[in-house]
Amino acid sequence: MSTKTLERPDVTEDDTTDDDAPKFFHYVRKEKITESAVTGTFVVALCGETFPVTKSAKPGSPVCPECKKIYNRMKK
Ligand SMILES: [Zn+2]
């Protein structure tokens, strides 16, 4: 495993929202996702949203627009 200056964030589902609310996936650092999945701690997404990781992102799931914006800005 190589360490880069900026970890490539992975997407993870915000499962704290109501059932009828649209479910977004947030960008969260990969090592935090693993940590949260094991210990149940809350992760902080790029947009500042905090939630415990319960599921990983499915292809085609909507990504949090705020996270996407920040992530695209970070890539430059
Ligand atoms: Zn987000």
Map residue 33 onto helix, strand or coil: helix
More confident residue, 19 or 33: 33
The DSSP code for 5 is S
**Residues above pLDDT 70, as percent of the chain:** 72
What's the rounded mean pLDDT across residues 55-61? 73
Question: In angstroms, what is the span from residue 68 Cα to ligand 1's centroid?
Answer: 7
Question: In angstroms, what is the span from residue 48 Cα to ligand 1's centroid?
Answer: 7
Write down the pLDDT at residue 20. Answer: 47
Write down the pLDDT at residue 14. Answer: 63
Question: Distances from the Cα of 53 to the Cαs of 1, 5, 25, in angstroms?
Answer: 23, 24, 11
What's the rounded mean pLDDT across residues 10-15? 68
More confident residue, 55 or 37: 37
Question: In angstroms, what is the span from residue 3 Cα to ligand 1's centroid?
Answer: 24
Q: Residue ranges per domain, the chain?
A: 10-75
